[in-house]
Structure 1
């Protein structure tokens, strides 16, 4: 039996304490969770495949990595505009089927000994485009599945499962690759995406029909309208600017952290993995407590708390006197604590951040608003990663962490001095009740 949720019903219903009791969201969460595990497993398999099977050069590895981001840079705004006119639910089903087909092609290429750099590049680019469409459809669809007052809880549940997938998935992927081999592993991941499509198809959502475009208007006008709405809105503008600045700082620490820990501190890969696992634990706990924090403090102050916590670990790594000669009993707790606090900060702010903007924006512009923020984030991250090489070369690793801490501080200050600081989830939800 199909589960049906109407848009009118979700806006009028009271706050739900546990969104997994909503059948439509339970199916959506299940589909998203198994797809997240599949992506984490496939990510490890792709890395092993690139290095051990293709024997790719560093330049080829860089190209393959960039292909996952390129669709966001060139198509992000266009796809976001399309998601305000297309059926988002149908898009999610089609993209899951598409991913199943593309992933299923890899075992065939391997068995035929036809996997080359160019064929794998085509696979990576196609998966990147499908992921872009899926991400652009999922965020604006969620307010159709749960009451707007429950969006923080819904995003928290999704964040928890994605954190678990991101933490456990790589280890599981490595083990499965060793036990099953690449062809069976990719076939398994194709099946996961097919199951996700089936679960997604069981939700019948009554999505509002888009308003017809006036004569003389085209998709470019839709994109500009989304940009104007996002950056002229009283609270979305500071929220978007704060996110962009946060992504700049995040690009720096994401690029430098592994090199700093493995090369500068000379920690073993196993110890590095332990530190990353603590980051996953922090993210899970942050997402677990995010709804309660959002209800008690309000959306703006919860986001501000997450932004402020993000400063602490990188400031600590910038000023603490640690190097390769420091005892492992000190180094491992320090880098693990840094990852834990950073994960905690992301878990708290992400659910409140995403839930607030989903609640405050009308359905007709959800796709463009989310894609505007997401696309600019990707551009900022891309440029920040390039900048990081210069910072680390001329300043060193720890001063680079200090620069990142300053940028994280600016991101928090944007929230602190803007109307977003006093924004509350219930106020955003009531505007659409």
Structure 2
């Protein structure tokens, strides 16, 4: 991964811009929710900030049609600058005591819209920046970044708010988007990106339907989405109910923190290992490695049935390894098998599909938790993920899913 960043300047600039702007997105999550509470004094309205973000994931199914047609670099730069200006204006209005509830939510909607546009463009631009054989390494690098940000960003957002109040955090957040834009401006894209706007016979409805038809027809993409949905469904409860799991099993108060630390460590290790091993494997075996990732997760989740000693911590590491494998491989498979002009649409459907699975899994686990001990619940969820692993292996092999990719 280090070699890719050192040798590919385009990817390096994208990597830095993505790192900075993603950090800004995480700060947004905390700062805008906190600001909403300051202005409205309502926990219900504060929670609406997160609801808006979820709703815009659905909106991305439609906006991604435009992202596929527009220039990706331009979208990334403009999205970062608009978010920077939006936050700075919001900051000024709040400081001058001129911010009301209506204006606040208007700014939140604008911020979320351009964040979603940026996310779609980030996924779509990667195949333009790196050669085909480096897609797995690129996905692994970005996966590690997101994992590190998830571990640290909310913590630092809390520090920023505590040190500089929510207004100071917003000002710093605004600056981060400017820095991201400056990094992204240095990217030099190939000719195919510059010629992308050439088509004049554009029909939004036809292009939207064309995207869904492609996903339905392309067995590789459909298989990845199905197994990712199943994987997220069965693995989601491992975070949401773990505090109750350790409490019910009478572990000490720091048990959950240790669990999350080991899971995060395993995730980073899994992403790095996939990138390293991929150099020794043909891309046609990525499907088998994806099945192996689900297998590790299934073993880890089922192992939580044994709720004593060091077993939960070993399981945390296995679950983390699984997340590292899967997060890199499913993105890489989609990038390999999706034409550039459809990339944003396919990733938008993929994101929505995988995101919906998590709350469904959490609700199912919570319902079972009303009647069963939590360690017992993890056993069928682990077995379910093992079934996903078997299905993944069989499905990719039977359909020859990746047989054409090396041609």
| TM-score over 0.5 for the pair | yes
Q: Is the 8 A contact 1:95 1:130 kept in 2?
A: yes
Counting only pairs closer than 5 Å after superposition, residues 234-249 of structure 1 correspond to structure 2 as 234-249=219-234
Q: Does 1:29 align with 2:45?
A: no
Counting only pairs closer than 5 Å after superposition, residues 414-433 of structure 1 correspond to structure 2 as 414-419=391-396, 428=405, 430-431=406-407
Counterpart CA distance in 2 for 1:227 and 1:372 is 8
In structure 2, the partner of 1:278 is: 262
4+ runs of 1 displaced by more than 6 Å? 421-426
SS, match of residue 320 in structure 1: coil
SS, match of residue 53 in structure 2: coil
Counterpart CA distance in 1 for 2:111 and 2:81 is 11
Q: 1:308 aligns with which of 279, 283, 295?
A: 295
Alignment CA distance shift 1:107-1:212 (3 Å): closer
Counterpart CA distance in 2 for 1:213 and 1:37 is 37
| Aligned-pair CA distance for 1:138 | 1.1
| Aligned-pair CA distance for 1:423 | 6.8
In structure 2, the partner of 1:229 is: 214
Counterpart CA distance in 2 for 1:223 and 1:260 is 44
Counterpart CA distance in 1 for 2:179 and 2:317 is 33
Alignment CA distance shift 1:18-1:72 (3 Å): same
Counting only pairs closer than 5 Å after superposition, residues 71-90 of structure 1 correspond to structure 2 as 71-73=56-58, 75-90=59-74
Q: Is the 8 A contact 2:23 2:149 kept in 1?
A: yes
In structure 2, the partner of 1:4 is: none
SS, match of residue 189 in structure 2: strand
List runs of 5+ in structure 2 lacking aligned partners: none
Counting only pairs closer than 5 Å after superposition, residues 94-105 of structure 1 correspond to structure 2 as 94-105=78-89
In structure 1, the partner of 2:387 is: 410
Q: Is the 8 A contact 2:143 2:328 kept in 1?
A: yes
Q: 1:194 aligns with which of 178, 191, 214?
A: 178
List runs of 5+ in structure 1 lacking aligned partners: 1-14, 323-329
Q: Does 1:39 align with 2:25?
A: yes
| Aligned-pair CA distance for 1:273 | 3.3
Aligned length: 401
Q: Is the 8 A contact 2:228 2:330 kept in 1?
A: no
Counterpart CA distance in 2 for 1:102 and 1:264 is 47
Counting only pairs closer than 5 Å after superposition, residues 24-423 of structure 1 correspond to structure 2 as 24-46=10-32, 48-49=34-35, 55-57=41-43, 59-73=44-58, 75-113=59-97, 119-206=103-190, 207=193, 208-209=195-196, 212=199, 218-261=203-246, 265=250, 267-268=252-253, 271-296=255-280, 298-317=285-304, 319-322=305-308, 330=309, 333-419=310-396
Counterpart CA distance in 1 for 2:155 and 2:30 is 8
Counterpart CA distance in 2 for 1:172 and 1:234 is 42
Q: Is the 8 A contact 1:36 1:166 kept in 2?
A: no
| Aligned-pair CA distance for 1:133 | 0.9
| Aligned-pair CA distance for 1:262 | 5.8
Counterpart CA distance in 1 for 2:155 and 2:11 is 28
Alignment CA distance shift 1:380-1:44 (3 Å): same
